Amino acid sequence: MSNDTYSLEEVSQHKTGKDLWIVVWNHVYNVTDYQEDHPGGKEFLLENAGGDATEAYEDIGHSTDAREILETFRIGKVTDEDWTDHSNDNKMPETKPSRTHIVQNLPPPRHGHTHFAATSLGLFSLVLSLILGRRFSKVLHRLQAAGFWKGFALSSAASLALIAAVTRWAMKNLNIGHRDFQSYPAHFKASSAKPAHKKGINLGVLNAREYQPFPLVDKWNVSHDTIRFVFGLPHPNSVLGLPTGQHIAIRHEVDGKQIARSYTPTSSNKDRGRMELTVKIYQNGKLTPWLKGLRKGDTVEFRGPKGEMKYHKNLTKEMGMIAGGTGITPMFQIIRRICEDPRDDTKLTLLYANKTDEDILLREELDTFAKENEQFTVHYVLGSPPEGWQGLSGRINKQMMEQYLPGPAGDDSKVLVCGPDPMMKAMVDALQERGFKAPSEFSKDKHIPHHSNILIPGRISHPRDEIFTFQ
């Protein structure tokens, strides 16, 4: 990799499909040859061609494997004059290979031609003895005269012939133990035929590589600064197809630039023909003011699924959740999945923090789940509680965690955290003090290290929100 330096003006001159540069964390990458293989699609690279793509790159979510691949296209860094001090971090997340694969050449196989020749010779001798037995051997003549022995000999001959044929085919076609990676083509041509969809199976309408327009069919205020949006899917029987724990991206052009943000739907795949988003509106935000102004019939472009976390039933025996504000949306997705699945026995406890009781989102749904499911408990925590408030007050602290949430127990317990940055930092520190394994770094790196106890599925209802899983 080169240590050359480039100004942003120089980078801006490389913004076509045949000559495409981007800047990520103040490093310059020539991604012209990366377009077709980019996991987010070449459209993302073209949208950010010739400019600083750091914010968009982190917002769209990339695994460590993707970061490692990107590093092979680095050609230098930006000049000191154009160096950008990013608000949430001042260096590129460190990427290290998670594992090394070594291809070794095995010794050449022993071919079975000798064994096959011997088997064939034995089979030929047996058949010859049966044919010439009457003329040259009294013993063989008597064996052939006996019906039992004659049948036995014939069946043995047939079995040997079958075994010989099968053995030869297997040695030729199944001798894969000694094949190295060069024995196979680099690419397999995909079938041009469309996959057959079984009757009654709905695979979901989301597309992870391309944005699709969905129309707004309804919206209403759920609090003074939060709106519930309902978008229609292509068919009344369509399902979104979003795995639990993952999220979707919305894009819109603002001031001539494509802006993308990620959100977690509060609906599930059981909600056919619709997708619901609960979004907090930030007056100074880049995307949410536009969302607020949408009217019924307006379309919004969506892409997904995004994120690396995929919840499955009975992932752990006991799960704690700490949410703040709109950080409830990814939690609600998992809560709903657990409570609506009678086969999922996970014990679930939620600590949900807000300023006032009017700020509590999805309260009716949460209370209903708690009432109808003994395995789920919710505790509301208010910073400014009203008179007569019966719930918890102040900020979520270590004492509340010890009283209501599970303690560290390896794979048998997990704690999910999602909320604004200051809250996230405080909760991370408190959980570490309690004995939970710490994340590799409290940053925007959304990779899930397999050796770590922290899962980071990605952005959710507000660009600054992230979700961590402690165990």
Report the half-sphere exposure of 73 (CA within 13 A, side-chain side): 21
- Strand boundaries in 344-427, DSSP class E: 347-354, 376-382, 392-393, 413-419
Strand order in the sheet with 212-223: 257-263, 247-254, 299-306, 212-223, 226-232, 274-280
Rounded Cα gap, residues 287 and 291, in angstroms:
6
**For residues 333 and 264, is the Cβ–Cβ distance under 8 A?**
yes
**For residues 448 and 455, is the Cβ–Cβ distance under 8 A?**
yes
Non-local (6+) Cβ contacts of 79 within 8 A are 5, 6, 7
Rounded alpha-carbon distances, angstroms, from residue 131 to 49, 124, 241, 429, 465:
83, 11, 69, 89, 86
DSSP state of 421: H
Rounded Cα gap, residues 322 and 95, in angstroms:
29
Catalytic residue numbers read: 247, 263-264, 418
**For residues 38 and 47, is the Cβ–Cβ distance under 8 A?**
no
Query: Token pair of 331, please?
Result: 């939690």
Non-local (6+) Cβ contacts of 334 within 8 A are 244, 245, 311, 319, 321, 416
Rounded Cα gap, residues 276 and 264, in angstroms:
9
Could you tell me if residue 33 is left (phi over 0), alpha (psi between -120 and 50 degrees) or otherwise beta? alpha
**For residues 238 and 273, is the Cβ–Cβ distance under 8 A?**
yes
Adjacent-strand bridge partners of 231: 216, 275
Rounded Cα gap, residues 52 and 6, in angstroms:
12
Rounded Cα gap, residues 471 and 469, in angstroms:
7
Query: Token pair of 392, please?
Result: 């918890």
Non-local (6+) Cβ contacts of 207 within 8 A are 303, 304
Q: Per residue in 100-125, is it b (16+ CB within 10 Å) or e — as a string?
A: eeeeeeeeeeeeeeeeeeebeeebee
